[in-house]
């Protein structure tokens, strides 16, 4: 009879109301599993044996859809929140709800005064006002501290290439985001980032063998190209070093030949060939004292020269 009741719409409605429906039970189990991954201590460590926070396992279980109902809830909640802030002025409606609440409280308090010494709101006022326990704040700040450490550790693991595949993916995603931010608004970029974060790990897990093969092929191809480039670079470096040594040897021989022409023995022999009086190496010939032809009348002039007058 109970099975028949469960198969009818009335029985399903009763199960939904009392929380015994299988779908509700599965959703509770998924949320409990995700919460346990948050509260449990993670045994994973970094390459330097530094322990990771428990949020590492939480986000891994969340984005890999280990608990599909809980992940689906967070996924659609994030999408709805982005659309709500995009198409609805949330802050304006918050102020609207606030002033409606205060006006309603004021109206009930004033309207109920004639019927008693105390108003309606005053009569339901709690004696001790609610306060936030210190333990709750300590737990909240503790979780916030672990969450911030999670982001700090994961950023450093990607930055220092602990997993080269994650570093490559991060560089590619940041490069795409750098160009997309020029052409699409922030809310659209946030929507695209959220969809990618919740779908890319699931696609990878469902096609892990094919993707790993492609990644392995790309890695081998890149290594082969790097090795080929290294060999070509070494060949060019060897050729350049041989040419440099040949040029240096040729220049050395020319310098030695030029220095041999100007050796100290040659300079000494050249210095000894110079005259001692440091006179120029070329001398002009002596002027002849005789042999010039006699000019007409010159001899007669000499013969007819008057004798000196004696005073």
pLDDT tens per residue across span 97-114: 999 999 999 998 888 877
Of 18-32, 45-59, 278-292, minimum mean pLDDT range: 278-292
pLDDT above 90 coverage of the chain, percent: 21
* pLDDT score of 3 more than 70: no
**What's the pLDDT score for residue 151?**
92
For 154-212, the pLDDT digits (tens) are 999 999 988 888 898 899 999 998 999 888 998 999 999 999 999 988 888 888 888 88
Average pLDDT of 122-132?
86
Predicted TM-score (pTM) of this structure:
0.62
The residue among 63 and 288 whose pLDDT is bigger is: 63
Band (148; pLDDT cuts 50, 70, 90): very high
Residues spanned by the domain of 146:
2-88+126-206
Distance CA 284, CA 275 (A): 15
Backbone CA torsion sign across 207, 209, 212, 216: negative
- Model confidence at 280: pLDDT above 80: no
Looking at residue 163, its pLDDT comes to 83
21 DSSP assignment: -
Q: Rounded to whole angstroms, how far apart are CA atoms 262 and 268?
A: 10
pLDDT for position 102 = 94
- Residue 45 clears pLDDT 80, i.e. is over it: no
Lowest mean pLDDT among 111-120, 129-138, 301-310: 301-310
Name the one residue in this structure whose structure tokens are 């859809």.
65
Residue 289 pLDDT > 70: no
For 106, the enclosing helix (H) or strand (E) is: helix 90-111
Question: Is 119 within the bounds of a domain?
Answer: no
Residue 168 lies in a domain: yes
Q: For residue 56, tell me if it sits in a domain.
A: yes
pLDDT interval class at 4 (50, 70, 90): very low
Give the up-direction half-sphere exposure of residue 86: CA atoms within 13 A in the CB hemisphere.
Answer: 13
- Contacts for 53-62 with beta carbons within 8 Å, 24 or more apart? 53/146, 53/147, 53/149, 53/150, 53/153, 54/146, 55/146, 55/147, 55/150, 56/150, 56/153, 56/154, 58/34, 59/150, 61/33, 61/34, 61/37, 62/34
- Separation between Cα atoms, residue 46 and residue 157, nearest integer Å: 8
Classify residue 267: in a domain, yes or no. Answer: no
> Bridge partners of 51?
45
Exposure pattern of 25-46 as b/e (b: 16+ CB <10 Å)? eebeebeeebeebbeeebeeee
In whole numbers, what is the pLDDT of the chain averaged over residues? 79
* 268 inside domain: no
Q: Is residue 84 part of a domain?
A: yes
Judge whether 154 lies within some domain. yes
Among 1-10, 116-125, 255-264, the range with the most confident prediction by mean pLDDT is: 116-125
> What is the pLDDT averaged over residues 66-76?
91
Counted domains in the chain: 1
Q: Is residue 306 part of a domain?
A: no
pLDDT at 1: 42
């Amino acid at each position: 009879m109970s099975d028949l009741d469960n198969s009818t719409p009335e029985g399903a409605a009763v199960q939904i109301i009392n929380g015994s429906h299988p779908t509700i039970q599965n959703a509770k189990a998924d949320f409990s599993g995700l919460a346990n991954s948050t509260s449990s201590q993670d045994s994973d460590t970094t390459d330097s044996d530094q322990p990771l926070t428990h949020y590492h396992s939480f986000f891994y279980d969340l984005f890999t859809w280990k608990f599909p109902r809980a992940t689906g809830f967070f996924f659609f909640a994030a999408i709805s929140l982005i659309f709500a802030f995009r198409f609805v002025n949330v802050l304006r409606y918050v102020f609207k709800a606030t002033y409606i609440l205060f006006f309603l409280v004021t109206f009930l308090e004033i309207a109920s005064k004639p019927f008693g010494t105390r108003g309606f709101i005053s009569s339901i006022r709690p004696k001790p006002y609610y306060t936030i326990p210190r333990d709750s704040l300590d737990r909240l700040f503790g979780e916030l501290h672990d969450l911030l450490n999670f982001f700090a550790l994961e950023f450093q693991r990607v930055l220092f290439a602990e997993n080269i595949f994650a570093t490559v993916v991060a560089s590619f995603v940041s490069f795409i985001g750098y160009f997309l931010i020029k052409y699409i608004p922030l809310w659209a970029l946030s929507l695209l980032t959220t969809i990618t974060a919740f779908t890319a790990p699931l696609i990878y897990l469902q096609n892990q063998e094919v993707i790993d093969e492609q990644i392995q092929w790309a890695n081998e191809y890149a290594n082969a190209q790097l090795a080929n480039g290294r060999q070509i670079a070494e060949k060019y470096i060897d050729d350049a070093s041989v040419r440099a040594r040949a040029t240096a040897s040729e220049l050395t021989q020319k310098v030695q030949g030029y220095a041999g022409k100007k050796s100290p023995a040659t300079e000494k022999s050249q210095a000894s060939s110079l005259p001692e009086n440091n006179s120029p190496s070329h001398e002009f010939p002596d002027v002849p004292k005789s042999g010039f032809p006699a000019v007409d009348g010159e001899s007669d002039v000499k013969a007819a020269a008057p004798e000196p007058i004696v005073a």
